[in-house]
Amino acid sequence: MTETPTPPPADLVVRGAVVLAYSEADGVHFLPDHDVVVRGGVIEAVQPTGEPVPALETIDAHGMVAMPGLINCHAHSPMVLFRGVAEDVSEERWFNEYIWPMEVNLTDDDIELGARLAAAEMISTGTTTFADHYFGMEQIARSTDESGLRALLGLTYFSSDGPAGLERGLAFAESWGGKAGGRITTALAPHAPYTVGHEDLVATALAALDHDLPVHIHASESRIQTKHSIDREGVTPIEVLHRAGLFEARLLIAHGIGIVPEDVATLAAGRVGVGSAAKGYLKHGTDTTPVRLLRAAGVPVGLATDGAASNNTVDMWETMTAFALVQKAVERDQAFLSARDVLEHATVQSARAIGRGDDLGRLEAGYRADLLLVDLSGPRTQPVHDLAATLVYSAHSDDIDTTIVDGRVLMRGRKLLTVDVPGLVAEIAPRLPRLTDRSHGRSIQDYNA
């Protein structure tokens, strides 16, 4: 009689955790005393803890929550270099007098150092995937590869760049898509409908369809922008994108604060997601993404940090808590968005927003093994009456013990394993006077949204 061969050991087993799970029927719920079995960067099984599963590596997660890694749906990672240098000013001054003049100073080396520092912050605060929209994207891609993170990367361009802007963005997307063992995917990244004209938006839509690429763009960033668009173009920014053909492609919209009810049918009919950066909106005194309107239409709303120059961190846990509180305040409804709803936005809906709902955002068989282990044993999170509420309202990102991407441990016991932060800080510090110099009188663009 032929014996059944013993299967090889799993690559990783996370043992004995309380697993944050999701189903369409039950929404977010929790499975106590479960193991997460990982093989080849993919979750092979989520099963009740029983006999030990043979594995090359086992993490004892008793007393911890295993949850999907957080997905940052819109970021400008190297802008960590400018955190804290443009404070308490109007949006117009923020762009025209501070950020865009300073961004002129960035070299490729600066961008790579900033991206590596952001990667360290993201790993330590629970982000496993980020959608980045910036310049120097090859440097960001290299730092992503080295750090072990997952990313959707798009090279920013404006109509002032001429046809070369889209050409460079497409060349980057074609060159880097699928790199880093598949952890890097790419997008086209026109800046916004007020800096990229109709012809260039049409060309972007055609290129996205020809090359099967998503498009990541700022749009309807404020109600004022929507009013200005109607005054200038006769239509909302969302309709500007629609008329350019961008809703034929896969579309990731940053912010969407100025989305109005007239936009909803267009949004609901497309393959579109919205990234909402609630903390930054609070800080800048603006309105926020109309989540209730979008939820009712079935449009995925994911969470985002934007750049650290406006948000001061790329800490997605902060964003998650701010998202919950802001929506209750704006809607004047304490019952709107339960803690479980918020966790769904931070995981499942964020994955859907970036077009990865089929393999990211859940801990279940067949999904990529991107997960966090959260230690709730500290005084801030005890006692636990409602686990979802504890995670959203009591826990902080420094309660994250372990961060795993594609089955690889990037942080364990709060110790970063892939980025040398002291070394980075030592390299960045001497560059700061040059980076923040605005005496040259040049600017990336003129902000007139």
Same domain, 59 and 75: no
Model pLDDT for residues 31-60, shown as the tens digit of each residue: 999 999 999 999 999 999 999 999 999 999
When the pLDDT of each residue in the chain is averaged and rounded to a whole number, the result is: 96
3 pLDDT band (50/70/90 cuts)? Answer: low
| Final residue in a domain of this structure, among 305, 328, 353 | 353
393 pLDDT band (50/70/90 cuts)? Answer: very high
Q: Please report, for the domain that includes residue 56, its CATH number.
A: 2.30.40.10
Would you say residue 420 has pLDDT above 80?
yes
Would you tell me how many other CB atoms lie within 10 Å of the CB of residue 84? 8
Residue 87 counted as domain residue: yes
Identify the residue whose tokens are 């944050």. Answer: 20
Model pLDDT for residues 236-268, shown as the tens digit of each residue: 999 999 999 999 999 999 999 999 999 999 999
Residue 435 counted as domain residue: no
- pLDDT above 90 covers what percent of the chain? 95
Same domain, 276 and 135: yes
CA 58 to chain centre: 28
Residue 439 counted as domain residue: no
Mean pLDDT across the stretch 78-84?
96
446 pLDDT band (50/70/90 cuts)? Answer: confident
Model pLDDT for residues 430-440, shown as the tens digit of each residue: 999 999 999 99
What amino acid occupies position 293?
L
Residue 434 counted as domain residue: no
Q: What is the per-residue pLDDT for 14?
A: 98
Strand extents, DSSP E, 204-360 = 215-219, 250-255, 271-276, 301-303
Identify the residue whose tokens are 């009689």. Answer: 1
Q: What is the per-residue pLDDT for 445?
A: 77
How many angstroms separate the CA atoms of 293 and 336, rounded?
Answer: 12
Model pLDDT for residues 157-214, shown as the tens digit of each residue: 999 999 999 999 999 999 999 999 999 999 999 999 999 999 999 999 999 999 999 9
Same domain, 382 and 342: no
Residue 446 counted as domain residue: no
1 pLDDT band (50/70/90 cuts)? Answer: low
Q: Please report, for the domain that includes residue 338, its CATH number.
A: 3.20.20.140
Q: What is the per-residue pLDDT for 449?
A: 64
Q: Which domain holds residue 50?
A: 12-68+364-413
Same domain, 244 and 102: yes
What total number of domains does the chain contain? 2
Residue 344 counted as domain residue: yes
Mean pLDDT across the stretch 297-304?
98
Same domain, 286 and 164: yes
Same domain, 226 and 374: no
Cα distances from 189 to residues 78, 143, 196, 221, in angstroms, run 16, 19, 10, 15
Same domain, 21 and 86: no
Same domain, 147 and 57: no
pTM of the model: 0.96
Same domain, 227 and 284: yes
Cα distances from 177 to residues 131, 135, 145, 342, 366, in angstroms, run 13, 17, 12, 31, 21
Residue 377 counted as domain residue: yes
Please list, in sequence order, all residues whose beta carbon lies within 8 angstroms of the beta carbon of residue 426, skipping any fewer than 6 positions away. Answer: none
DSSP string, 267-308: HHHSEEEEEE-HHHHHHHT-----HHHHHHHT--EEE--B-H
Number of residues that this document lists for the chain: 449
Same domain, 319 and 371: no
Same domain, 20 and 98: no
CA 252 to chain centre: 11
Residue 422 counted as domain residue: no
Same domain, 75 and 63: no
